[in-house]
Structures are given as structure tokens and as C-alpha cells.
Amino acid sequence: MVHLIQLPAIVVDGLLKRYGQLRAVDDVSFSVEKGEVFSLLGPNGAGKTTTIEILEGLRQQEGGTARVLDLDPWSKGYDLHKRIGVIPQGFKFLDYPTPREAIIYYGALFGVRVDPDEMLSRVILEDAGNIWFQNLSGGQKQKLGMALSLVNNPEVIFLDEPTTGLDPQARRAVWEVIRKLKNEGRTVMLTTHYLEEAEELADRVAIMNHGKIAAIGTTEEIETRYGSGQKMVVKAKDDLLEFLKDNTKLKAEKGANGTVIISLRDKDDALVALGSIAESGTDWGDLTVKRDSLEDVFLRLVGPEARSEGEGT
């Protein structure tokens, strides 16, 4: 009996790229399975774009290996580009073609016949098919970028910060297109500094910082592995904090807005915490139990400064 082993769509091992003294990509390794949506998450300057451009064959790595669809992106770029679709960061195009004309142009470059109406429909851009590119809105431009990246019917699609600078409505429209791509079984590699985007779209996430992978896995795996577990948050005065410290082994700390945060290692801790709150006789309210979100983990791994920098661009 013959077992066919399906190779991952993307394999990266020990990738290295320097700009002068700066190690923009420093010993990065990961793989992306076929049909998977994989997101590189990180602040500006983390090395996301350099990594994705190496995989697209636009830059040459200095060390390590990169394979996309079992091809070396740099030396076999011409073959690879027929099988991948790309939207570079800050997608811009020629000023005057309409989306319809741009799709036909791209089809001619790739030597494929494309139905522009069909493509426009796929990216939800039917209503702007005859507007010059320079007059399209930011969201419409990004959608055209997605349409162009699909012209050659690619197996792998690289989206480098596809929603940066878009308003929430346009962003969600682009997400809708990305979900469609996943449903069609295409492999999608996405870089973003929007946590919500990665959580919404990605099967797996890699958090990059200073050129290195700081965490990798599903969002749940990352939250579990790098988060600090479940926490009980209760609105109460400081005397609850004193009571817990004096009478229990629970780890508690003062939170924001007059709250006390109690770390829960297991279910027993939760019961002890509830009992202690009742026993303390203090005035309390607004009790919630939560665990670290991807954002909490992200902040812990890359620092709050990097987060705010990423949000701002």
C-alpha cells in the first residue's frame, strides 16, 4: 500500500537576513500546511515583511532554507510566481487602469484567460469595476490587489498587511475574501499587526519580535502556553487583598479600577477564592473569570511599546 505524503506548502528552517548590523530575520523556522491560513503577527520592524518577501522570492536570505511548494523562491522564482499570488504591503498599482482592465492585463501577463466579472465578484468589487485605480477607495484598492493575486489561480497566497490603513468596514470585507480563499482550500500566509485579524482568520499564528519567532501555534495554544492561566477579577476594596494574603495561599494582586485579581491554578483555587470572598465580609461585586487573551500574551512577549507602535501604523 502506497502512502502519499503531502509536503507542507511552506517550509522555513533557520532563516537569516541582515541589513548591516541588524538581524532582520534571525534563525526563523516554521512550516505551513496546505490549505492552512498562517499569520505572522508582530510590531513594525519585527521581520514579518522581510520573511514574507524571502518566501515570495523578492529577497535572498543569507542563511537557512526556504521552500514554497517545494521550490526555492529565489532561484526558482519564475516557476514559483506562476503558482503563488501576492499582495505586497501598501498595495499600489498604475493610476489609470480600471479593476476590470487590470485583471485582463494580469491575465495576459500570466497567459491565462480570466473572466473579469467573475474575479470582481470573488473579491466583492463588482460595483467598482470601471473606476480608475487612482479613484478607488483604500478598501477597493486592496480588493483589487486580492483579485490580481488570484488571476493565476494560485495555490499559495501571500498577504502582507492587507488591511493596514483600512476602516473597520473595509477591513471586514477583506476578511470575508480571505475566508473565501480558505474555504477554497488555498494556503494563505498573512502578516498583520492587528491581533483581532490574526484571531479571526488564522489557523495558526507566529508572533515575531526582533527578527525571531517568540511564540507559535493556534491562538488557544499560545494563550495557554504563554498566558498566565485563568484569573478571577472582582471589584472590591483593598481589605479583600489583605484577607486573601493572610488567610489563603492564593496569589492575588491589585488590579485597575478598584479590582482585585486572583490567579487560579485549578478548579479548587476557584472554590477557595469564592469562599474567601464571602468569608471576608467585604463589599464586593462585578466578579468575572477570564484568562489571558492573545493580546495579553502579545503584550507580554513584545512589550507594550511595540504594541502601540504597531497599532499606529
Partner 1 sequence: MCSSGWSDPRPGQRGRGPSLAFSLHRLAAELRVYARGNVRSREGFFFTLIFPIILVLLFGAIFAGGGISQTTVYVQNHDGGPVAAAFISALNSTSNDCSPGASSGLCLRGVAVDQNFSQYLSSKSASDGIVVPEGFSAAYGANQQVNITLFGNPASTTSAIVSGITSEVVNAFNLHGSKGVLGIETRTAVSSSYKYIDFLIPGLIGFSALTSPMFAMVNIVSTYRRDKVFKLLSLTPLTKTEWLLAKILWYIGTTVVSFILMSVVGVYVFGAHITLTLGIGLFLLIGPFFFVSLGMLVGTVSNSPESAAVVGNLVTFPMMFLSGTFFPVSSMPAYLQGVAHLLPLYYMIDGLNNVMIYGNYSPALFDGGLLVALSIVVFALAVRFFRWRED
Instruction: Catalog residues that contact partner 1 under the rule CB under 8 A.
Output: 56-60, 76-79, 81-84, 86, 88-97, 101-102, 105-106, 108-115, 118-119, 122, 132, 148, 151-153, 155, 184-186
- If the CB atoms of residues 60 and 282 are measured against partner 1, the closer one turns out to be 60
Contact partners, residue 78, CB within 8 Å, separation at least 6: none
Which residue's entry shows cell 487573551? 293
Integer Cα distance of 13 and 64 in angstroms: 6
- If the CB atoms of residues 87 and 216 are measured against partner 1, the closer one turns out to be 87
Which residue's entry shows cell 505551513? 32
Give how far the C-alpha of residue 162 lies from the chain's centroid of Cα atoms, to the nearest Å. 10
- Cβ of residue 234: shortest distance to partner 1, in angstroms? 51
- Cβ of residue 75: shortest distance to partner 1, in angstroms? 9
Report which secondary-structure segment, H or E, holds 212.
strand 212-217
- If the CB atoms of residues 117 and 221 are measured against partner 1, the closer one turns out to be 117
Residue length, the chain?
Answer: 313
- Cβ of residue 8: shortest distance to partner 1, in angstroms? 17
- Cβ of residue 68: shortest distance to partner 1, in angstroms? 12
- If the CB atoms of residues 19 and 246 are measured against partner 1, the closer one turns out to be 19
- If the CB atoms of residues 40 and 55 are measured against partner 1, the closer one turns out to be 55
- Cβ of residue 181: shortest distance to partner 1, in angstroms? 9
- Cβ of residue 86: shortest distance to partner 1, in angstroms? 5
- Which whole-number Å values give the CA distances from 238 to 80, 162, 231, 245, 280, in the listed order? 62, 46, 17, 11, 11
CB atoms within 10 A of CB 287: 15
CB atoms within 10 A of CB 150: 23
Torsion 302-170-190-219 (CA) sign: positive
- If the CB atoms of residues 50 and 280 are measured against partner 1, the closer one turns out to be 50
- If the CB atoms of residues 181 and 234 are measured against partner 1, the closer one turns out to be 181
Integer Cα distance of 259 and 297 in angstroms: 21
Do 211 and 49 contact (CB within 8 A), yes or no? no
The C-alpha cell at 211 is: 527578527
- Helix or strand or coil: residue 23? strand
- Cβ of residue 263: shortest distance to partner 1, in angstroms? 46
